[in-house]
């Protein structure tokens, strides 16, 4: 009787352990990389020119119609050309959390070498806007996190948004150029 009970306990324990390992990776895989704000290591040096795609991310399907002006994005992230790389194109907005699987799918969908993903969130009292960004290097399948910016002030939301996007563009340029490979000129 005791051996039957111990065998049943062993089976239950094994099934519980198997279930744990099947469920846990899907829970851990849903971590939003935009909120995690960590860069990958061992990134190879970049040789320019590269192509750039800019995507806007909305968390949980929330869209703010006052910010969805494509001219503002073109004026900041595309016209300033954060990476000094051509060509730069805008992509359609994406909603939901940014995961590794989602980034791999975006890398397959778009032919560009560098994908810049940004997110804006407005404070509940509409006194500040937070801008977050990630740079995904599609060929290397590596991620570079951008330092987030928070714009506060008495000016309108559109002006704070424009200032935040400019700060994000400068940060993206700085991060990409820190990984730039430059060929040395011969002295002869």
Q: What's the pLDDT score for residue 142?
A: 92
Q: What's the pLDDT score for residue 124?
A: 80
Q: What's the pLDDT score for residue 121?
A: 87
Q: Could you give the CA distance from residue 56 to residue 95 in angstroms, rounded to a whole number?
A: 8
Q: What region, left, alpha or beta, does residue 70 occupy, with left being phi > 0 and alpha being psi -120 to 50 degrees?
A: alpha
Q: What's the pLDDT score for residue 60?
A: 67
Q: What's the pLDDT score for residue 137?
A: 92
Q: What's the pLDDT score for residue 173?
A: 86
Q: What's the pLDDT score for residue 30?
A: 65
Q: What's the pLDDT score for residue 108?
A: 93
Q: What's the pLDDT score for residue 133?
A: 93
Q: What's the pLDDT score for residue 46?
A: 81
Q: Could you give the CA distance from residue 45 to residue 60 in angstroms, rounded to a whole number?
A: 34
Q: What's the pLDDT score for residue 103?
A: 92
Per residue of the chain (188 residues), give pLDDT as tens: 556 667 777 778 777 766 666 665 444 546 788 888 888 888 888 877 778 888 888 876 555 666 666 777 777 777 655 555 656 788 888 888 899 999 999 999 998 888 999 998 888 888 888 999 999 999 999 999 999 888 887 778 888 888 888 899 889 888 888 887 766 666 66
Q: What's the pLDDT score for residue 6?
A: 74
Exposed/middle/buried for 21, CB within 10 Å: 0-12, 13-18, 19+?
exposed
């Amino acid at each position: 009787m005791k051996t039957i009970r111990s065998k049943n306990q062993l089976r239950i324990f094994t099934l519980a352990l198997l279930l744990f390992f099947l469920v846990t990776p899907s829970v851990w895989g849903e971590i939003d990389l935009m909120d995690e704000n960590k860069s990958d290591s061992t990134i190879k040096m970049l040789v320019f020119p590269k192509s750039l795609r800019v995507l806007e991310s909305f968390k949980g399907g929330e869209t703010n119609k006052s910010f969805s002006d494509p001219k503002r994005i073109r004026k900041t992230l595309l016209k300033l050309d954060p990476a000094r790389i051509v060509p730069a194109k805008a992509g359609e907005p994406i909603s939901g959390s940014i995961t590794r699987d989602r980034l791999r799918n975006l890398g397959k969908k778009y032919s560009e070498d560098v994908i810049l993903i940004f997110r804006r969130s407005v404070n509940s009292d509409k006194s500040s806007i937070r801008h977050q960004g990630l740079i995904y290097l599609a060929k290397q399948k590596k991620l570079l996190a951008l330092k987030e910016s928070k714009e506060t002030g008495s000016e309108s939301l559109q002006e704070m948004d424009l200032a935040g996007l400019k700060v994000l563009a400068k940060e993206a340029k700085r991060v990409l150029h820190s990984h730039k490979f430059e060929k040395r000129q011969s002295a002869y």
